[in-house]
Amino acid sequence: MSNSYKVGVVGGGSWATALAKILMETQESLNWFMRKQDSIELFKQEAHNPNYLRDVEFDVNKIKFFSDINELVSESDIIVMAIPSAFIKDALKELKISFGDKIIVSAIKGLIPDENMIVGEFFNEYHRVPLENISVISGPCHAEEIALERLSYLTFSCCDISKAEIVAQKFSCDYVKTSTSEDIYGTEYGAVLKNVFALASGICHGLRYGDNFQAVLMSNSIQEMKRFVDTVHPIDRDIKSSAYLGDLLVTGYSQFSRNRTFGTMIGKGYSVKSAQLEMHMIAEGYFGVKGIKAINEKYKVHMPITNAVYNILYKGSAPSIEIKLLTEELR
């Protein structure tokens, strides 16, 4: 696959905007799907996303915008999906054409609701995309830091490592270093779990637990992640690499982490609904913890942190009581 292959981005949020910024560094042109035509028109007028990362300017003459998902798919060879997992089925419901031999790049760090599937499985089963044509983006990388061009690292996973390398090259620039992996399952599940653990971190922060406890929480979180991914997809993987541990740490600690922010609000006494309304953004961990809990009914992995977050968000348990019980489980 040559550099002449067209890349398309699906999504209009901060992560989609950050990924589009990177691609504009390496590609002569870009296809970009946004659902709302008025957002596209404002983008063309102002030369930036009117809703997210407004300081990032784009050369709109090099962008072909689409509000029809079918047109974007037909005119793109590599399609970067960068929308919240809760909205992916809605975004694709108008799709009438096949993905065919397209390479699908998932930048979605969540499970597909109801099906409780990772994104790769969803595209494989429901849209008949071969697993070797599915790549997953992971790693410690916040959209806000991409906007500031702060050095970041991304890992691209694919069953076909040659395709992972092709996609990685398209995202490699002065401020983004890339690497590749064959662990599509581990990196996807890890991306879901790190959001759940960041929620736990935020809840504890809201309850005024200190840095000492946060360190214990994070060290236990990576162990919980390893137990789960090694059980669900047992292969040789280094859980300490940036795709897993690095992503967990930045999501658990960063000021830009929406999952940590959401958790902090819950810890401070906000209801789930009021926290969601105030944030105006999706915290993937809220949906992810429900899916992981359901999946783990089959595997029976010991997951005290996941269970605590689930009990707080879905069973109405008091955060102070649930976290106090959790402190007795951690070492």
The verdict on 167 and 299 lying in the same domain is no
The verdict on 152 and 201 lying in the same domain is no
The verdict on 159 and 98 lying in the same domain is yes
The verdict on 169 and 29 lying in the same domain is yes
| Residue type at 24 in one-letter notation | M
The distance between the two most distant Cα atoms of the chain, rounded to a whole number of Å, is 58
The verdict on 101 and 205 lying in the same domain is no
Asked if 288 and 196 count as a contact pair (C-beta separation under 8 A), the reply is yes
Task: Summarize pLDDT for 303-323 with one digit per residue, the tens.
Answer: 999 999 999 999 999 999 999
The verdict on 93 and 216 lying in the same domain is no
Residue with tokens 């970009």: 32
Task: Summarize pLDDT for 47-61 with one digit per residue, the tens.
Answer: 999 999 999 999 999
Q: What is residue 100's predicted lDDT score, i.e. its pLDDT?
A: 83
Single out the residue of 78, 137, 89 nearest to residue 113, CA to CA. 89
Confidence band (pLDDT; 50, 70, 90) for 3?
Answer: low
Does the pLDDT value for residue 19 go beyond 90?
A: yes
- 1 domain-assigned: no
The verdict on 90 and 161 lying in the same domain is yes
Domain total of the chain: 2
Neighbours of 208 (CB within 10 A): 9
Please report, for the domain that includes residue 41, its CATH number: 3.40.50.720
Quote the Cα angle for 246-247-253, to 5°.
90
> Which structural domain range is residue 97 located in?
7-182
Where a domain ends, among 182, 202, 235? 182
Integer CA distances (angstroms), 261 to 19, 199, 281, in order: 22, 8, 11
Quote the Cα angle for 118-73-190, to 5°.
20
Predicted model pTM: 0.95
255 Cβ contact partners less than 8 Å away, ≥ 6 residues apart: none
